[in-house]
Structure 1
Amino acid sequence: MSALQQRTLDLIRSNETQILTQWQENLAAAGQGQDNRISSQELQAQNREFWRLFLQVIPVAEAGTLHGQEGQAIRRFLEDLSADRARRGFNSSETASVIFSLKRPLFELVQGGFADAPAQLGDQLWAISELLDVLGLQTVKAFQKTREEVIQRQQEEMLELSTPVVKLWEGVLALPMIGTLDSQRTQVVMESLLQRIVDTGSEIAIIDITGVPTVDTLVAQHLLKTVTAIRLMGADAIISGVRPQIAQTIVHLGLDLQGIVTKANLADALALALKRTGQTVTRTAI
């Protein structure tokens, strides 16, 4: 990375107000601070903090020092900024523009200050461009990391919501499943179901696959793993929702579900569970 000359540093420091004003105008023209995601006051406060850190790092911004101890403070700021923007719903382009929009006011300032030295002008413009590119890329990298974490957390929450463990009766739990059953979801299912068995002391767990569109070898293996885990916890498992199409598929695939109790619907599975726990349901006269 090229170094900024003292002449350039003096130009930047002596024209701070002008640079900040133009920078803020550029961001406003791009729509930053114009909606309810972030107020103009918050944007200005973030810009001032970035500018303060920027002034600290530019005297030593060469030979990759931004990746070392000297650039630690501004890197941390950019990581926090990117994380905040990702959570507020900004995209990576809008986030990086906070840094890249600073190029124009700095370029215009340096062009005017080095009008009498074309060779030095090119060198200093390149140095500023390199510096802001490194900072901008750091922002994009941090934004993507945060965004991936947000997406992963949302996926985990959706998995948990799509596999609720319901207490049907004293000692009887039900797990209605909707959609496809893959390895990740199986893990979530087992963790939530086994924890509920421990919490409630339930004796029977009903896995209802009425909402599962198809059952193939992989899905059957996942079901077997779940049933095995339930049994290891000292409880019994019943699979309900085995429709004629699913039964035929299981037969054609040659899947071995021996030893696993299956029922056509959840009502039948609940009736069996109540019978096993020594309870009966009777109709009262109206």
Structure 2
Amino acid sequence: MAGQTGSDIGSLVSRNEATILPEWLELQKNAGTLHTGRITEGELQAQSRNFLHLLRDALAQGGSNAGHAAYEPAKAMLAELSRSRAQQGFSPSETATFIFSLKQPLFNALNRDGAFSPEQIASTVGTSTLLLDELGLYTLEIFQKSREEVIVRQQREISELSTPVVKLWDGIVALPLIGTLDSHRTQVVMENLLQTIVDDEAEIAIIDITGVPMVDTLTAQHLLKTVAAARLMGADCLISGIRPQIAQTMVHLGVELNVISKATLADAFAVALRQTGRAVVKSRRVEGTGFADKKIGGREA
């Protein structure tokens, strides 16, 4: 019976496509699909016509069973549409409207078509509602997964951008951290720092945590992992940005970093210069020029 009903719906769509398609497009436009500017009317029309054809073929071969193999092309098209709209910034409701707005034109065609008895109309309405609901839920599931993938990728990109390694001087690099350290971000920090140590042949790496709002036991463990990894690459580490509140918290938690720490990045940089045999010397003003000779690291700048 379900298979026969599905076949009837397929025949209905085939006979009334000329009226179903424009009504469906109008409902989608009224719902604001085109107002976003992310899709053109031509693209929307092509997508709607393509799905209508795939749905018609699936109904003819697989009845109303959305799990039938005949529905795979239609589902593949919905999956591609959902992923595309997730990347374009459509909302879940805007994406779901593509399927759910098809119900009304289909019911209108059913009422106009004279080939169905009242009993067949009632059965067809129920079957088509369940079918479109299932396809709509499938569309939303793919959309949600795609949005999550976009968010994860964006978080990864932001994490990479927020952990730059800066070259301060020959053999001295600094890693200013901003925000909370978690396991994934620690891995990104390690990779960026170790690669920079290799590329610049750095002897000392300064990890500045001025922008880290809180240091707990887990954060300290992540810092220690980064320090240990840098040491394995032959670079000594300094930690700067230890504020009074953070120092008190670390003492209270019994956290020991076992590494030289300074309150500011400038203090840590001065230590790094001394450890590499360099020094910062006060400038000597040159008369009549308004400029000064500066000696940094034992060389005139």
**8 A Cα contact 2:176 2:207, kept in partner:** yes
Aligned-partner SS, 1:167: strand
**8 A Cα contact 2:100 2:136, kept in partner:** yes
What aligned pairs does 1:208-219 form with structure 2 within 5 A after superposition? Answer: 208-219=208-219
Runs (5+) with no aligned partner, structure 2: 285-291, 293-301
Distance 1:20 1:38, change over 3 A: same
Partner residue, 1:57? 58
The code of the aligned residue for 1:32 comes to T
Partner residue, 2:17? 16
The code of the aligned residue for 1:204 comes to I
Matched, 1:73 2:73: yes
Partner residue, 1:277? 276
Aligned-partner SS, 2:2: coil
In 2, Cα distance between the equivalents of 1:7 and 1:274?
83
CA RMSD of aligned residues (A): 2.0
**8 A Cα contact 1:177 1:208, kept in partner:** yes
134-143 or 3-12, which moves further after superposition? 3-12
Deviations, residues 188-226 of structure 1 (Å, cap 9, x unaligned) = 211221222223221211000112222222222221111
Distance 1:5 1:262, change over 3 A: closer
Query: Percent same amino acid at aligned positions?
Result: 53
Matched, 1:186 2:189: no
What aligned pairs does 1:177-256 form with structure 2 within 5 A after superposition? Answer: 177-256=177-256
Partner residue, 1:141? 141
In 1, Cα distance between the equivalents of 2:116 and 2:79?
39
In 2, Cα distance between the equivalents of 1:7 and 1:219?
63
Matched, 1:262 2:261: yes
Deviations, residues 102-140 of structure 1 (Å, cap 9, x unaligned) = 111111111232686122111111221222122211110
The code of the aligned residue for 2:23 comes to Q
What aligned pairs does 1:90-129 form with structure 2 within 5 A after superposition? Answer: 90-113=90-113, 117-129=117-129
- Larger RCO (CA under 8 A, 6+ residues apart): 1
**8 A Cα contact 2:55 2:71, kept in partner:** no
Distance 1:106 1:116, change over 3 A: closer
TM-score w.r.t. length of structure 2 = 0.87
In 1, Cα distance between the equivalents of 2:193 and 2:168?
13
Distance 1:194 1:15, change over 3 A: same
**TM-aligned CA deviation for residue 7 of structure 1:** 4.6
The code of the aligned residue for 1:229 comes to A
The code of the aligned residue for 1:35 comes to T
Partner residue, 1:166? 166
Runs (5+) with no aligned partner, structure 1: none
The code of the aligned residue for 2:173 comes to L
TM-score w.r.t. length of structure 1 = 0.91
Aligned-partner SS, 1:38: coil
Aligned-partner SS, 1:15: helix
